[in-house]
C-alpha cells in the first residue's frame, strides 16, 4: 500500500470539490432540504402520534442517519462515475495504483463528501426544530460507523458493476438505495413489514441500526445486540463487495471494458 498514491487519488477529488462553489453548494443543498422537510413532518407526527409523542426527534434523527448512508453510498459512486465522465478512467487504470488503494482513497473521499453535506444539515436541526442528533449520545458513533460501512459497501458493489458493465450500469448506481430503503425500516418498526419482507430486512444491517436508534430515543435503553448484529452483517457484506470488485476488475480486463469505458 502506498499512502502517496492513496493521497494522490484523494487529492484529485479534493481539488475537484474545492475548485467549484456550485459543487460544494450541491453537496450541502440536498441534505439541508431533506432534513428541513423531515423536520416539519417530524413536528407534525410528534403532535399527532402516540408512538412518537415522547420522542420528537425520532423521525428527524432517522432522516439524518439515512441521509448520511445515502450520501456515503452515492458519494462513492459519484467518485467512480466522475472518472468515466471526465474520460480519465484509462489514465487511472494505467497508473501503478492498486485496487485496494483505489478503494481506500474513495472510502475517505466519500466520507468527506458526505460530511460536507451533512454537517450543515445537522447544525440546522437545532435552531429550526430544537432537536439534536447528539441525543443518541456515545452510541451515535457506532450507528454512524455502521451506516458508513454499509454506505461504502453499497458504493463498492455498484462501482464493481460500473467496472464490469461500464456506464450502462449508471442507472443502477442511482437506484440502489431506493431499492433497499423499504427493508431498512428507517421510519417505521420492522413489525410493520410482511413476514417475508421481515426476513429480508433482518438480513441487512440497516434494520438493526434504525431499530436501535429508535430504541435509544424512545425507550432510553441500549440493546447492544442490535449494534453487534449491524457490524456482523456489515462485515459479511463488505467482504463480499470487495471480493466482487476484484472479480469485476478481472472480468473487465478479460472483456475489454477498461479500454472502452471512457470512450
Partner 1 sequence: MKNLVEVQNLKKNYGSKEAVKNISFEIKENEILGLLGPNGSGKTTTIGMMLGLLKPSGGKILINGMQIEENRIEILQKINFISPYIELPKKLTVKQNLIVYCKLYNVLDTKNRIEYLTEKLRLKDLLNRVTGELSSGQKNRVSLAKALINSPTVLFLDEPTASLDPEIGDFVRSFLENYKKEKKISILLASHNMNEVTRLCKTVLMMKDGVIIDKGCPQDLIKKHGRKNLEEVFLKLSRSADEHN
Q: Which is nearer to partner 1, 95 or 192 (CB)?
A: 95
Distance of CA 150 to the CA centre of its chain: 6
Number of residues that bind partner 1 (CB under 8 A): 35
Helix, strand counts (H, E) of the chain: 11, 0
Distance of CA 105 to the CA centre of its chain: 16
Please, which residues have CB within 8 angstroms of residue 14's CB and are 6 or more apart in sequence? 109, 112
Phi and psi, residue 110, nearest 5°: -65, -35
Instruction: Confirm or reject binding of residue 224 to partner 1 (CB under 8 A).
Output: no
Helices (H), 20-138: 21-48, 58-85, 89-93, 99-129
Query: Site residues for partner 1, window 101-130 (CB under 8 A)?
Result: none
Instruction: Confirm or reject binding of residue 93 to partner 1 (CB under 8 A).
Output: yes
Minimum CB–partner distance for residue 92 and partner 1 (Å): 8
What x-and-dash track marks residues 9-38 binding partner 1 by CB under 8 A?
x-xx--xx--xx------------------
Q: Residue written as cell 477498461?
A: 258
Residue from 49, 54, 86, 175 in contact with partner 1 (CB under 8 A): 86
Region binding partner 1 by CB under 8 A among candidate stretches 50-58, 66-74, 84-92, 191-199: 84-92
Instruction: Confirm or reject binding of residue 91 to partner 1 (CB under 8 A).
Output: yes
Minimum CB–partner distance for residue 15 and partner 1 (Å): 5
Query: Do residues 61 and 213 touch, judged by C-beta distance below 8 A?
Result: yes
Choose among 20, 25, 60: nearest CA to 40. Answer: 60
Residues at the site binding partner 1, with contacts judged by CB under 8 A: 2, 4-5, 7-9, 11-12, 15-16, 19-20, 82, 86-98, 250, 253-256, 258-259, 262-263
Amino acid at each position: 500500500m502506498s499512502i502517496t498514491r492513496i493521497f494522490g487519488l484523494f487529492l484529485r477529488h479534493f481539488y475537484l470539490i474545492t475548485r467549484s462553489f456550485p459543487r460544494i453548494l450541491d453537496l450541502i443543498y440536498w441534505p439541508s432540504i431533506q432534513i428541513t422537510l423531515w423536520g416539519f413532518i417530524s413536528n407534525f407526527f410528534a403532535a399527532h402520534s402516540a408512538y412518537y409523542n415522547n420522542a420528537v426527534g425520532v423521525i428527524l434523527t432517522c432522516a439524518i442517519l439515512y441521509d448520511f448512508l445515502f450520501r456515503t453510498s452515492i458519494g462513492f459512486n459519484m467518485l467512480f462515475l466522475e472518472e468515466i465522465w471526465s474520460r480519465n478512467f484509462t489514465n487511472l487504470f494505467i497508473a501503478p495504483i492498486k485496487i485496494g488503494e483505489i478503494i481506500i482513497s474513495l472510502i475517505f473521499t466519500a466520507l468527506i463528501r458526505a460530511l460536507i453535506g451533512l454537517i450543515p444539515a445537522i447544525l440546522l436541526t437545532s435552531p429550526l426544530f430544537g432537536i439534536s442528533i447528539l441525543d443518541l449520545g456515545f452510541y451515535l458513533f457506532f450507528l454512524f460507523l455502521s451506516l458508513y460501512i454499509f454506505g461504502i459497501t453499497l458504493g463498492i458493489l455498484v462501482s464493481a458493476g460500473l467496472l464490469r458493465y461500464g456506464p450502462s450500469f449508471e442507472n443502477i448506481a442511482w437506484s440502489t438505495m431506493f431499492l433497499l430503503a423499504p427493508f431498512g425500516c428507517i421510519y417505521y418498526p420492522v413489525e410493520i413489514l410482511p413476514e417475508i419482507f421481515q426476513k429480508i430486512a433482518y438480513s441487512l444491517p440497516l434494520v438493526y441500526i434504525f431499530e436501535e436508534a429508535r430504541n435509544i430515543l424512545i425507550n432510553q435503553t441500549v440493546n447492544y445486540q442490535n449494534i453487534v448484529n449491524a457490524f456482523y452483517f456489515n462485515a459479511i457484506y463488505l467482504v463480499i463487495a470487495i471480493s466482487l470488485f476484484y472479480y469485476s476488475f478481472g472480468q473487465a480486463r478479460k472483456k475489454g471494458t477498461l479500454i472502452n469505458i471512457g470512450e
